[in-house]
Chains A and B, each alone.
Chain A
Amino acid sequence: MHKLHLVVVFIFASIVSVFAQKMMFEQPLSPRIANYEIHVKLDPEEKMLYGKEILNWKNDSGDSIEELQFHLYLNAFKNERSTFMRESGGRHRIDRMDRKNGWGWTDITSFKMEDGTDLTDAIEFIHPDNDDSLDQTVIRIPLAQRILPGRTSVMEIEWEAKLPKSFARTGYKDDFFMIGQWFPKIGVYEEAGERYATNGQWNTHQFHSNSEFFADFGVYDVYITLPREFVVGATGVLVDEQQNDDGTKTMNFYCEDVHDFAWAADPHFEIVEAQWKHVKITYLVQPARRANAWRQIQAAKNALEYCQDRFGEYPYPTLTIVDPKYGATGAAGMEYPTLITAGMYWLVPEGIRLPEEIVVHEFAHNYFYGIIASNEFEEAWLDEGMTTYATIKVLEKYYGSGGGSLINLFGLNIAGWQFEWRGYSAYADRDIVVKNAWEYDRGGYGAASYNKPAMMLLTLENYFGVEKWKMIMRSYYDRFRYKHPTSRDFIQTVNKVGGEDMNWFFGQALYSTAVLDYAVDKISSKRKSSRFPVENDTTKTDSGFVGSGDSLPELSTADSGDGHDSSEMQISTDRIFYENKVILERLGEFIFPVELKVEFNGGEVVREQWDGKDRYKIFLYERESRLKSAQIDPDRKVYLDVDFLNNWKTLKTSKAGIFKYSLRWFFWMQNLLQLVTVFS
């Protein structure tokens, strides 16, 4: 009888949750594999969550499923023995875990299937990534009955969770709550041939220090009960709000075709709203920072405009930006579907665009992670790298005037791409890009997942040209929205839409640690005379390829163009001309075509292409004017180059440039010395 009762309840609940009147899109945008109805109560005093979820999970594989796997991410903060704590040492970004009072955990108190079968006791912790047997962030639940291909299974899970003190994207600070990774979340089942799976298998991972998340799309219908004074922001739209007799309220948020759900609550939030086309932007800002809210709202609008134009439609009707409370930096700078957390401080000058950068970056994740749901554990570059690229482009477009799209203060200009390039070039050869996020060490994760891929994408954009690149990125969006693409999928898209097999490029950029560094090794200009007719018409832009090879030829320094070469006195001429020579060198192992710009004293400019394959290449020009300078990549298109300084050579150094900065330092030193006399 009891079992029958449960079955009826489950069927009813699943019908209610899936076919309720709530609707965001007329047609499902995604496969809707994992659909949740969640009822959760927040106890702000105890920092506890009490939840119940009804999960509708569809087996869209051809396999019969014998077990389920779930993530219990909050257990990453349960004790010192979790994989996260062991890897991070209790540190994340600039934050430190409060080891005295800051722990958090999740405990499933009941797990029942739609037929009433109670599987609570069958729950078993597993550790798919390594030998951390004490980690409790992933569980498996052997099923009593298989879930057949194409069938949907409904399960009811009850759980309790203690929130950690604000740390690593989640937690509380006083009465501010950022609730992320908070409910038992089913893993992704991959059948053979799907992504990298060779056999049908669950794709679940422990919560690592260096990675974020991976989940299937679905519908989220979430009922949040908490004291009335709290202001709440969440994924999706608020469809209903009920005042309860006990001084609490229940808010119902609803979102379709997303793969995660997060929410934030704080009684002090002030609400700033704005509209961008079909998107309602809600900024939940801390009162002290309200005066600056316009900056981040504008940044969100800029990001929406750019991403929609360059990648594809942002389909959701809402975007919520959460401003974490002072002291809750652990919750800042994080992306969830339709909800992002920002980071702002009172009195940050407008010339420092970090508050804007955070909003743009986290919003762009709604494309690369949100809509195009790559696996952040296994190929972090597909979300972080693409997002960093998009961030650079948005900053450049909307804040780039004056050169300092990221920082433009007191004459100090730093563009977004320059900041990322610094990280990339420092660790260019440390790690390959396509690698499990938790396997990076020694700072390699940031460089390989954020910096290098962003430089790679900027380089590719210049390689293909803006319009073709736009087509490539839009095509990637169109083909893989609401799917789980891999690096392979992206490469195939580039090859297909770009019309060129770029495997040679991706092999180097993504799967090797080859460094890209081209240099102008030497230039010279030697005065000559000819009594005999010169073979080439030297007034034309004839460039003579003299040679190339694996090791550089010796070049006499006497020839290096100081204008006083010894041959000058011996010439009795019919005709004077200059033998101008440029030697380019490939210093790294990464092969990429580069452009050369050669300038002559007469004002003539020659541009050349070099496929960059050999170790060096010599360009020879016979001209009536002397060579002035040579520059590789004159338009700064190859962002993957680790050293821009060796891209230039001239026969006559501009001393003024050196003096300018030497004088500045000199002046600062004079002031500093005078300042210390205060202590005498």
Chain B
Amino acid sequence: MIPITDAYKAGLRSAWNHRPLLFTIYLINFVLAYFAVIPLSMMLSKGLANTTAAAELLRSWDYTLFVSLIREYGKGLSLGRILLTFSLFYLVINTFLAGGIMQTFIREEGFNRREFWAGCADFFHRYLKLMLFSLSFVFIALIFMIFIDGIFDWLAEGAVTERLHVVFTFIEIGVFIFLILMINMLFDYAKIIMAVNDFYGAWSTIKIAMMFVVMSMRKTAGLYFLFFITGLLLLAVYWFLESRLQVSSAFTVLVFFVLTQLYMLAKTWLRLSFFGGQYVYYRYSNTAMPGLTQEMLDQAVADYENRVSENRKSG
């Protein structure tokens, strides 16, 4: 069975080797976010047009100006509606793109635009079903959390201080995030299994993914959390740099923009690495047979990466 560190490294490398894919995904996120921000940006432009308030805001944040802005120019601007609409739209788009991403990894021939879009189209309705199941699982997790919350409330009923409530709340948040991440991991494998085996049945695929995840829980979860921790480290680096950046001039605004986009690129790379790493792990642990040695597995991973690299060059 392939060590998770190898799968982790293979995932990072493979995502990097598919740079056109990486940039395509990044670009789609960029464009959609841009459209989502237009109403807010227009409000700013309209409210701050021909005022020195814009220059003041560049120097420092002013709560009163924002209150006035939203009061005067934010009428009819429903932030919640914008967020919900674009989030749902992006969820569907992302489901669509996932097929192309998986197809790219499975073909092991580098990024091919035509194959990518074909993969998107081919798997869309199947992944859409998986997405609906995923949302159902999230809903069940929510119900579970309500149940847990009730138990915690009962346990903390006679509490003398709020400390127990606060601790329980932190535990609840932690448990909920863990459940969401586990659901996300499960459905990552479901997508991989569906793509690798060209399955059509969503529920049967989920069951196989469940079996796979449960049977090698330590490893699948370990791999997943390796990527997750990488994401937290990325965030820490971003925070560190951002906190040192005093955005108070046109130049520093530009630096801020570059920094945020580098961070978004890194996050997109990491998201693809999740797929790539999990795909490698599934592929080489699923085909593992008695007598398969570690050297053979290492060789198989190296071969895989070479093939991707060569195909990319030739293609």
Contact = CB atoms under 8 A, between A and B. Distances in A.
A648 B67 contact: no
B247 interface: yes
A674 B52 CA distance: 35
Given A645-B47, A674-B271, A680 B95 contact: yes
Contact of B55 (A346, A646, A657, A665): A657
B87 A649 contact: no
Contacts of A289: 161
A670 B52 contact: no
Contact of B48 (A287, A629, A658, A672): A658
A663 interface: yes
Contacts of B214: none
A678 interface: yes
Contacts of B68: 425, 643-646
A657 B57 contact: yes
Interface in A313-340: 325-326
B72 A666 contact: no
Interface string B26-39: 00011011101100
Given A288-B161, A325-B160, A659-B253, A667 B64 contact: no
Contacts of A287: 160-161
Interface string B255-286: 01100100010011001000000000000000
Nearest to B30: A670
B201 to A, nearest CB: 19
A347 interface: yes
Contact of A422 (B67, B72, B256): B67
B162 A346 contact: yes
B297 interface: no
Interface string B12-47: 000000000000000001101110110011001101
A643 B249 CA distance: 26
Interface string B76-96: 000000010011001100110
Contacts of B162: 288, 326, 345-346
Interface stretch (A409-417, A487-495, A578-586): A409-417
A669 B41 contact: no
B56 interface: yes
Interface stretch (B109-117, B131-139, B204-212, B287-295): B131-139
B29 to A, nearest CB: 6
Contacts of A649: 50-52
A19 interface: no
A653 interface: yes
A412 B253 CA distance: 18
Contact of A667 (B127, B180, B260): B260
Interface residues of B, number: 70
Given A421-B64, A645-B72, A672-B83, A680 B166 contact: no
B290 to A, nearest CB: 37
Given A286-B161, A662-B40, A645 B63 contact: no
B313 interface: no
Contacts, number: 187
Nearest to A656: B250
A680 B53 contact: no
A672 B32 CA distance: 11
Contacts of B50: 649-651, 653
A178 to B, nearest CB: 16
B61 A411 contact: yes
Nearest to B162: A326
A653 B32 CA distance: 27
B44 A661 contact: yes
Contact of A674 (B45, B64, B268): B268
Contact of A679 (B57, B135, B264): B135
A654 B29 contact: no
A673 interface: yes
A540 interface: no
Given A288-B161, A669-B33, A669-B37, A403 B64 contact: no
B187 A680 contact: yes
Nearest to A268: B160
Nearest to A326: B162
A678 B274 CA distance: 12
Contacts of A674: 29, 264, 267-268, 271
B63 A673 contact: no
A666 B60 contact: no
B205 to A, nearest CB: 15
B64 A418 contact: yes
23 contacts: A174-B160, A287-B160, A325-B160, A326-B162, A346-B163, A413-B61, A413-B63, A418-B67, A629-B52, A644-B64, A650-B50, A650-B52, A654-B54, A656-B55, A657-B53, A660-B57, A663-B260, A666-B37, A666-B41, A666-B260, A671-B264, A674-B267, A676-B94
Given A419-B63, A653-B48, A672-B87, 4 more contacts: A325-B160, A645-B47, A662-B37, A666-B34
Q: Top 5 nearest A-B pairs by Cβ distance? A: A657-B54, A288-B161, A657-B58, A654-B55, A645-B68
